[in-house]
């Protein structure tokens, strides 16, 4: 079973600053990595699929990169509405596994 290690667990960042969240897989997963945003009391929302493909409707300040075992979600300029918990998900093999989540707070 693949293990996904997401870091950091928590970030408090001022508006307009850059945010970087990483997700490391215990073995190569190619580009089978998704990034989700979840706000309190809401369902997760898919931001990035297959490591770097943005979803239509996702703000352009969100981008993803990486392949193999190391992946990054970047928020280029943090906005107040980005306060949320972010999760990575690997879909390379079963069981599908989510990272532990990164809570982003606006400082």
**Site residues (CB under 8 A) for another protein?**
34, 36, 38, 43-46, 49, 55, 87, 89, 91, 94-101
- Whether the CB-CB separation of 3 and 23 falls below 8 Å is answered with no
CA 58 to the chain's CA centroid: 13
Distance in Å, CB of 107 to another protein, minimum: 22
Q: Which of residues 21 and 49 has its CB atom nearest to another protein in the complex?
A: 49
Distance in Å, CB of 59 to another protein, minimum: 17
Distance in Å, CB of 74 to another protein, minimum: 21
The owner of tokens 């770097």 is: 52
Q: Which of residues 45 and 61 has its CB atom nearest to another protein in the complex?
A: 45
Q: Which of residues 71 and 87 has its CB atom nearest to another protein in the complex?
A: 87
Can you tell me the distance from the alpha carbon of 94 to that of 52, in angstroms, rounded to the nearest whole number? 21
- The angle formed by the CA atoms of residues 62, 41 and 82, to the nearest 5 degrees, is 25
């Amino acid at each position: 079973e693949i293990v996904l290690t997401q870091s950091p667990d928590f970030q408090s960042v001022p508006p307009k600053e850059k945010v970087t969240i990483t997700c490391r897989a215990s073995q190569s997963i190619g580009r089978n990595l998704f990034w989700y945003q979840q706000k309190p009391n809401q369902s997760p929302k898919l931001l990035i699929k297959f490591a770097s493909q943005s979803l239509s409707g996702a703000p352009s300040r969100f981008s993803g990169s990486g392949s193999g075992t190391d992946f990054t979600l970047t928020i280029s300029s943090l906005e107040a509405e980005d306060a949320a918990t972010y999760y990575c998900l690997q879909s390379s093999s079963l069981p599908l596994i989510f990272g532990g989540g990164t809570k982003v707070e606006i400082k």
